[in-house]
Structure 1
Amino acid sequence: MFGLFDSTKKAVKKYNKVAHKIMALEDTMKAMSDEALKNQTKIFKDRIKNGETLDDILVEAFATVREASKRVTGLTPYFVQLVGGMSIHDGNIAEMRTGEGKTLTAVLPAYLNALNGDGVHIVTVNEYLAKREAEGEIGDLFRFLGLTVGLNIRDLDREGKKAAYACDIMYSTNSELGFDYLRDHMVLYHKDMVAQRGYPYAIIDEVDSILIDEARTPLIISGPAKQTQNLYQQSDRFVKSLSDHEYELDVESNTVELTPEGIAKAESVFNIENLYDLSHVSLLHHINNALKANFTMFRDKEYMVVEGEVLIIDQFTGRVLKGRQFSEGLHQALEAKENVEIKKETVTVATITYQNFFRMYKKLSGMTGTAKTEEDEFIEIYNMSVIEIPTNKPVIREDAKDYFFVTAEEKYQALIEEIKRRHEIGQPILIGTIAVETSEFLSMELRKHRINHEVLNAKNHEREAEIVAKAGQKGAVTIATNMAGRGTDIKLGEGVVELGGLAVLGSEKHDARRIDNQLRGRSGRQGDPGFSRFYLSAEDELMVRRGGDRFRTIIETLQRAQATGEPVTSKMITSLITGAQKRSEGVNSEIRKNVLRYDDVLRVQREIIYAERTSILTKETVEEEVIKFIETIVEAEIDEFIIPHGRNKFEIKDEAIVHHFESFLIPKGMVKIEDVNEMDEVEIVNHYKDLAIKLLVSKKEVVPQEVYNEFLKVIMLRVIDTYWMRHIDAMSELRQGVRLQSYGQQNPLIIYQKEGKRMFDEMRYNISKDIARYAALGRIELNVSREAVVKNTSTNQGEDASKQKRKQPKRAHRSQLPWNRR
């Protein structure tokens, strides 16, 4: 850790020197007219064209933005914001406390990097923030300096998106960027790709939220559905019928599985011999999902049910993720559990993880208030160091010691008393909770005590901006889940400073220390006073999962020793909890790395297929590629009929060859057996190659060249897309299947890699074979046109425009039930 701390010190020292040079230009810039200041952009662009680097012009460019900001927004970037801007420009993460002006800091490196004409993407956690910056003062600042500003949101059509991507600066959300990338590699014409310039430079706001918290969920575009609803209901009924001794729940790792008795019961109920036989992968997967849904996931904590729909609650922000689904059938398992309509499980047609998407950028950087605890992961996966930027004014907030109680009841009682005491003097209070149910329970308690308050949780997020704006006013009491943490600033009302600023009271600790720090950081911005304290009990989820009885015993012992009825404060328990949080962070980090290890297998395959696809879209003609496919296929297919017998002697199965090629490459009757009899092993291969190529090339005689070119492109795109989509779905099934392999002392990842490569090679061979076949035997229609293989695609973050119609469920005969299919 010393080395990492050192890197911050060294970097800040270097940036401080440059920041003094920028400050020294203040008077020169002040003397410039608006026109002269705007003209700086053109001067800088010319200097770059003449060979200067971005670093050469950094001092003057930052000074220009600083002066322009004063004129457009009335805000002048502080010295520490210049330091933050430089660390972002260097491809690092600037860790800046709440209220230190991250938004304005990002303008400095964004302006500088936009001067080379490649474009800069500024990534925010939600569309509200993206819109606020692009359309507000920050956007005006870029526009004042002569740069174009785009906003990329979900509602835009393709032309609107293309225009946004073509801008110097584009604001977007992380999910929209990822989905655009996947959709760009499903288009049928190159002109329809929205990211024409690729992925040059990204500045990610709240970088830990996007690259760490959301990295466990890959982005998925899905196509028409699979039929498996019945299996969800059967599995759910089975799991609900289990007795305690038939399943085992591991509280610490939050996992659940069948005991030997439970396995025997499953085999009897589903009438099968061995649940762990590979032919029952699908059934076992459904049972595991039903176990997870019934025993490890709770309504109003991980999800809510609203109007017959299961909605996910984001565990890091407390928001409802509208339209998003748990993947791999877990969502359908929850729908079965809650007895609401089960949505069809869809087929994955394109997918990527955030880690692999953002690693495609030539340069990546970010900013947040809390990233240092995850620095190792940022360095290992993204090659970004975390640079702690000093605050503009010293932080004077009082972070009080944690209070410990034996039971949750005692904890909430003490918390309510503290709220009453502070509310009586008018001090604004922010109460942090980690679940919707806790926020609603505390809201009920406050109503009993007639304390007016606002609740900011997943059920009430529409009024978020309004609630946050008032949270720092005199007498305000706000209960919030983790969502009050990001991209919002709580400003203090009149007379609040004298009362001690905003008091932040945490009702529980989160698995990750960052989230607790984020809550604390709501208070004490820009040198304001403030207070924070966490109230904890031995019954809290984190304490129970990480050794509940031990905590209970320690707290009870300490309580007896005091005998004053006061809450317990103890360095020992605090350090035990910090240790528990570190372990949780480690576990979560390992889960993310594992997601990445699996996606890396797919990433290599995805990049090969996407590169081939893009090359088809951009080339004038693909005839050469098609001819290569024909030659490869003839050689490979003939191989099994030419058997070596001693040195340079071969047995040629003439009749078999003729029959075989008639079935897929050459029209019937075109080759006679007596012709083949006369040929040796080399002549026969060349004969078939020539015939197939002639069949292909002869098509040019009947249609214009452009129709012929289009015919070949249509074949290649259609075949590649069909096979690739099937392959992705097969890889997803393989991944679920290899989990079972760990029971046989084998590493599932290695099996996934080997089997995945074998499947990919097989798919590429089949692609070549189909392209060769259709190109040789196909007839060209004059009105040939490109068509998408999958229509009505939706994403795992909400439906796309074309909604699918519901079909009536069909009854299945016993022989057709999913677990009876082989």
Structure 2
Amino acid sequence: MFGALAKKVFGSANDRRLKTYRPRVAAINALEPEISRLTDDELRGKTDEFRAQLAEGKPLDALLEPAFAVVREAAKRTLGQRHFDVQLIGGMVLHEGSISEMRTGEGKTLVATLPTYLNALAGKGVHVVTVNDYLARRDSEWMGQIYRFLGLSVGVIVHGLDDAERAAAYAADITYGTNNEFGFDYLRDNMKYDLAQMVQRGHHFAIVDEVDSILVDEARTPLIISGPLDDRSDLYNGIDKVLPKLVKGDYEVDEKQRAVSLTEAGNEHIEQLLEEAGLLTEGSLYDAANATLVHHVNQALRAHTLFQRDKDYIIRNGEVVIIDEFTGRMMPGRRYSEGLHQALEAKEHVQVQPENQTLASITFQNYFRLYSKLAGMTGTAATEADEFQDIYKLEVVEIPTNVAVARVDEDDEVYRTAAEKLKAIVREIESAAEKGQPLLVGTTSIEKSEQLADFLVEHGYKLIDFTNPLALEPLYDAAREGRPSKHFAVLNARFHEQEAFIVAQAGVPGAVTIATNMAGRGTDIQLGGNADMRIRHELAHLEDGPERDAKIAEIRAQVAELKQKALAAGGLYVIGTERHESRRIDNQLRGRSGRQGDPGRSKFFLSLQDDLMRIFGSERMDGMLQKLGLKEDEAIIHPWINRAIEKAQQKVEARNFDMRKNILKYDDVMNDQRKVVFEQRREFMAEDSVRGTIDDMRHSVVDDIVARHIPEGAYPEQWDIPGLDADAQRLLALELPVAEWAKEEGIADEEIRERLKSAADAGYADRVERNSAEVMTYVEKQVLLQMLDHLWREHLVTLDHLRQVIGWRGYAQRDPLNEYKQEAFELFDGLITHLREQVTAQLMRVEVMFQQPEEPSLPPMQASHIDATTGQDEFGGVDVSARAAAALGISADDPSARRDPNDPATWGRVGRNEPCPCGSGKKFKHCHGALV
């Protein structure tokens, strides 16, 4: 109560922070008349002036007001746009290294130009991170007009660039790109063998657009560069045949934790089934030799019990394609790790693709924490504020809208059954469509959207065929005449090809659009429809000329008329058919309505059979509602219900946060080791010669050999002389009279150690002289780097396996995280020992053939990069190195060799920028892969 009173008197913490920016906004506004009088050349000269002041020691923050005023003026002259005062505040928040929460449609792209310009003056590079290649290109060209006008260089990182182009883009003052491209470039840089080949030049300042999507949703899975392993499809298919024979009591499913485990009876039953199938050939299931089999059984069990077709994934062109739970988009090219994707392929009886071995990986959390300063912007971050603060040390500041929000958010309606809820939604759709109000109906999965679509068809509605250019004519006619059209559109992962057009026309009066998750769609819903999109879609067949011009004028006039009708009907009405686990996704759906002061309305319809309600104790509520006499088709509507549901969502969010935080704690262990390895690699590459390191390694190997076979304080008769002699031959390639040394009167371990070192140094010096010092300098560096990379990859695999089983230590009352840290440290210590031994052993035996040395090439690599706008894999499923193609039996020179131009089923994955396999000569994205 006291807190609420204090908030009324003093304002919230957010309000108080916003007040601190007002004087600086006033100072920027005061500079506007002076700045506006400058000529273009004088305005451009301000950049040099600011850089000179920085060089003299002036702090960056002291330049904020004049720099922001200069950017605002440049935006007016290049784009015809002037930053609002609230946008200036958003820019200041970003400059301070915080998150600007700005409603959808408030101009975040323009806001980013302010801190980007200011921080680029330091000359260390600013990275602007977007969610897809399209936005990276668009923003670099669109906002790049401001930067180039002011004398700054702009680069863009998109898929398909070679290393020289990437290095040039990173060398620019400002670099646009996607989170995936930045992360993959970091990993690839740390697999190079020469500093000159590296493309990134540091991590100074980054602004992340859609920060909640990238740093929360995308951060659930790491970025991985991988290479192919042996085919194990027989194992997956064999286990899949066995699994359906399990009965209900053989396993327990925990829906809340998204976990499944075998019971004691289940363990015995699966062991018996595996023996009968010939998959378990020796020992019991839980013997160490069968650890891989146990892992694949557990993954198959997860695939069958926790993953639903058309909700978590769909089958498309004979492939299991993941559906992103937050955006509802297909994610072709992205695969579940640790054999889960192969288990799903076996379950659905499609071709099981080979697994990959991780060559390098990093989580987005750890990649973005490399930056000296990090900032972000989004429309929905407040619900994840604790996570941003805890993980990234980022504060969330809510920026007020330029025009007050006029949307009305109504209380939820809760029904007892899903069938009653569907009937209520259809009644609401008919009621709103009757008065010409456009409707956006949000669902949580493809399955739910198709159920609703079938229900609408039963009630006389027709599904719009967007492949027909005239399909929307009945909708436009009905809107002009003020009657419902009885037509509807479906937007989900099955209809990505028409996504942009479907969204663009969702604001036509009376339009009904069913959408699976609206997060980050990238296309605005404009009341009355989108004139530009209609012109492209409907007039594509017309050449430029009077007829086309007349049609364009007609379409624009029609859209303006329809907009007025949509406004009069109350604007866009958003209906939610179910609450999502995250409040943020619900808010994103709501945010589609009531933009830039437009009227709007939103309401959620729920049932006790919804996943969220069912998991959080709907049985008790159902019993209570029946006792209260709630009749069929009646709903309960009360703010208390909203609060109860919000608390359930908060519980789920907190649980998911704990899971991500726990994953990060484990990843931090590997991250500390990764930083050591990557830093050491860079030092090796930067040195002209690593001879000193090689000498130190050789001496350490000698120390280890002696310590291993001559324990401290042991008598000579207790020494392991045969073992010492064997190790000297194995690791140092030396045949020495060690047995004779040990017989000498009064000899000590120290004397033997020195003799071994002297012999090893002499042997190596002789090898250097024989092969030439210059050549050996090159060989030493390459052997050291390649051996380090090989052992690091093996170490990553071992850590992955350790992480999967370490949780069982909890049953022994031991903290799994501490156990993991301890064992990971011991494994890393072993990695260093093995590195010393293998490098020494190899160099003590190396013989150089005098010919032109070949540059070492990177290992076979595969990577995925999903375009969030289209759901397409920008890498096209093609390996990122020719060696990887060869390893997989693919022709790197002619990827279309096995494709029949007349049979799209043989094309497989086609890269967006590849020539279309049909033989048209166009790029795939402009031909068969084009968006409708």
TM-score normalised to structure 2 length: 0.82
Secondary structure of 1:360's partner? coil
Secondary structure of 1:791's partner? coil
Matched with 1:660 is: 727
Matched with 2:688 is: 620
Shift of the 643–527 alpha-carbon distance from structure 1 to 2, 3 Å rule, reads: closer
Percent identity for Structure 1 against Structure 2: 42
Question: Which amino acid in structure 1 is aligned with residue 836 of structure 2?
Answer: S
Matched with 2:504 is: 469
Secondary structure of 2:807's partner? helix
Q: Tell me which of 190, 193, 196 is aligned to 2:195.
A: 190
* Alignment partners' CA distance in 2, 1:468 and 1:111: 33
**Residue 220 of structure 1 contacts residue 796 of structure 1 at CA under 8 Å; is this kept in 2?**
no
**Residue 543 of structure 1 contacts residue 551 of structure 1 at CA under 8 Å; is this kept in 2?**
no
Q: Does 1:801 align with 2:870?
A: no
Higher alpha-carbon deviation: 798-807 or 724-733: 798-807
Matched with 1:499 is: 569
Shift of the 796–585 alpha-carbon distance from structure 1 to 2, 3 Å rule, reads: same
* Alignment partners' CA distance in 2, 1:48 and 1:645: 64
**Residue 246 of structure 2 contacts residue 270 of structure 2 at CA under 8 Å; is this kept in 1?**
no
**Residue 433 of structure 1 contacts residue 481 of structure 1 at CA under 8 Å; is this kept in 2?**
yes
Question: Which amino acid in structure 2 is aligned with residue 215 of structure 1?
Answer: A
Higher alpha-carbon deviation: 731-740 or 597-606: 731-740
Matched with 1:820 is: none
Q: Tell me which of 417, 431, 434 is aligned to 1:421.
A: 431
Shift of the 656–401 alpha-carbon distance from structure 1 to 2, 3 Å rule, reads: closer
1:224 to partner: Cα distance:
2.2
Matched length: 802
* Alignment partners' CA distance in 2, 1:418 and 1:500: 14
Higher alpha-carbon deviation: 14-23 or 799-808: 799-808
Shift of the 796–428 alpha-carbon distance from structure 1 to 2, 3 Å rule, reads: closer
Q: Tell me which of 751, 755, 761 is aligned to 2:819.
A: 751
Matched with 2:252 is: 248
Q: Does 1:460 align with 2:495?
A: yes
**Residue 253 of structure 1 contacts residue 545 of structure 1 at CA under 8 Å; is this kept in 2?**
no
Shift of the 767–795 alpha-carbon distance from structure 1 to 2, 3 Å rule, reads: farther
Q: Does 1:175 align with 2:180?
A: yes
Question: Which amino acid in structure 2 is aligned with residue 155 of structure 1?
Answer: G
1:160 to partner: Cα distance:
1.6
Describe how 1:327-726 pairs up with structure 2 within 5 A: 327-447=337-457, 448-450=460-462, 451-493=486-528, 494-495=563-564, 496-557=566-627, 560=629, 565-645=633-713, 656-668=723-735, 671=737, 673-674=739-740, 677-678=743-744, 680-726=748-794
1:372 to partner: Cα distance:
1.0
Higher alpha-carbon deviation: 125-134 or 774-783: 774-783
Shift of the 53–466 alpha-carbon distance from structure 1 to 2, 3 Å rule, reads: farther
* Alignment partners' CA distance in 2, 1:109 and 1:610: 30
* Alignment partners' CA distance in 1, 2:725 and 2:256: 65
Mark the runs of 5 or more structure 1 residues left unpaired by the alignment.
809-822
Describe the superposition over 1:162-192 as per-residue Cα deviations: whole angstroms up to 9, x where unpaired: 1111111111111111111111111122111
**Residue 695 of structure 1 contacts residue 777 of structure 1 at CA under 8 Å; is this kept in 2?**
no
* Alignment partners' CA distance in 2, 1:7 and 1:650: 76
* Alignment partners' CA distance in 1, 2:766 and 2:507: 78
Matched with 1:817 is: none
Matched with 1:263 is: 267
Matched with 2:48 is: 42
* Alignment partners' CA distance in 1, 2:88 and 2:13: 18
Q: Tell me which of 298, 311, 315 is aligned to 1:301.
A: 311
1:230 to partner: Cα distance:
2.7
* Alignment partners' CA distance in 2, 1:390 and 1:489: 20
**Residue 718 of structure 1 contacts residue 788 of structure 1 at CA under 8 Å; is this kept in 2?**
no
TM-score normalised to structure 1 length: 0.93
1:673 to partner: Cα distance:
4.8
* Alignment partners' CA distance in 1, 2:284 and 2:436: 66
Q: Structure 1 stretches (4+) deviating beyond 6 angstroms?
A: 1-5, 648-651
1:656 to partner: Cα distance:
4.7
* Alignment partners' CA distance in 1, 2:156 and 2:51: 23
Matched with 1:106 is: 112
Q: Tell me which of 159, 162, 176 is aligned to 1:157.
A: 162
Higher alpha-carbon deviation: 255-264 or 730-739: 255-264
1:232 to partner: Cα distance:
1.8
* Alignment partners' CA distance in 2, 1:288 and 1:219: 24
Higher alpha-carbon deviation: 531-540 or 704-713: 704-713
Matched with 1:316 is: 326
Matched with 1:20 is: 26
Higher alpha-carbon deviation: 743-752 or 289-298: 743-752
**Residue 370 of structure 1 contacts residue 517 of structure 1 at CA under 8 Å; is this kept in 2?**
yes
Describe the superposition over 1:560-598 as per-residue Cα deviations: whole angstroms up to 9, x where unpaired: 35x695532122322221111011101110110111011
Q: Tell me which of 64, 72, 75 is aligned to 1:66.
A: 72
1:517 to partner: Cα distance:
0.6
Matched with 1:126 is: 132
Question: Which amino acid in structure 2 is aligned with residue 225 of structure 1?
Answer: L
Question: Which amino acid in structure 1 is aligned with residue 117 of structure 2?
Answer: Y
Higher alpha-carbon deviation: 83-92 or 34-43: 34-43
1:789 to partner: Cα distance:
6.4
Matched with 1:815 is: none
* Alignment partners' CA distance in 2, 1:547 and 1:174: 39
1:53 to partner: Cα distance:
1.3
* Alignment partners' CA distance in 1, 2:36 and 2:833: 66
1:277 to partner: Cα distance:
4.3
Describe how 1:731-810 pairs up with structure 2 within 5 A: 731-783=799-851, 784-788=853-857, 790-795=859-864, 798-802=877-881, 803=885
**Residue 93 of structure 1 contacts residue 386 of structure 1 at CA under 8 Å; is this kept in 2?**
yes
Describe the superposition over 1:582-617 as per-residue Cα deviations: whole angstroms up to 9, x where unpaired: 111011101101110110110111111111111111
1:39 to partner: Cα distance:
1.5
**Residue 127 of structure 1 contacts residue 153 of structure 1 at CA under 8 Å; is this kept in 2?**
yes
1:657 to partner: Cα distance:
3.2
* Alignment partners' CA distance in 1, 2:599 and 2:889: 60
Secondary structure of 2:394's partner? coil
Matched with 1:213 is: 217
Secondary structure of 1:321's partner? coil
Matched with 2:894 is: none
1:228 to partner: Cα distance:
3.0
Secondary structure of 2:199's partner? coil
Q: Does 1:9 align with 2:9?
A: no
Question: Which amino acid in structure 2 is aligned with residue 344 of structure 1?
Answer: P
Question: Which amino acid in structure 2 is aligned with residue 546 of structure 1?
Answer: F
Describe the superposition over 1:413-439 as per-residue Cα deviations: whole angstroms up to 9, x where unpaired: 211221222223222211111111222
1:246 to partner: Cα distance:
2.1
Q: Does 1:231 align with 2:235?
A: yes
**Residue 715 of structure 1 contacts residue 771 of structure 1 at CA under 8 Å; is this kept in 2?**
yes
Higher alpha-carbon deviation: 679-688 or 54-63: 679-688
Question: Which amino acid in structure 1 is aligned with residue 383 of structure 2?
Answer: T
Describe the superposition over 1:33-56 as per-residue Cα deviations: whole angstroms up to 9, x where unpaired: 111111111111111111111101
1:400 to partner: Cα distance:
0.9
Question: Which amino acid in structure 1 is aligned with residue 728 of structure 2?
Answer: F
Question: Which amino acid in structure 2 is aligned with residue 791 of structure 1?
Answer: P
**Residue 95 of structure 1 contacts residue 388 of structure 1 at CA under 8 Å; is this kept in 2?**
yes
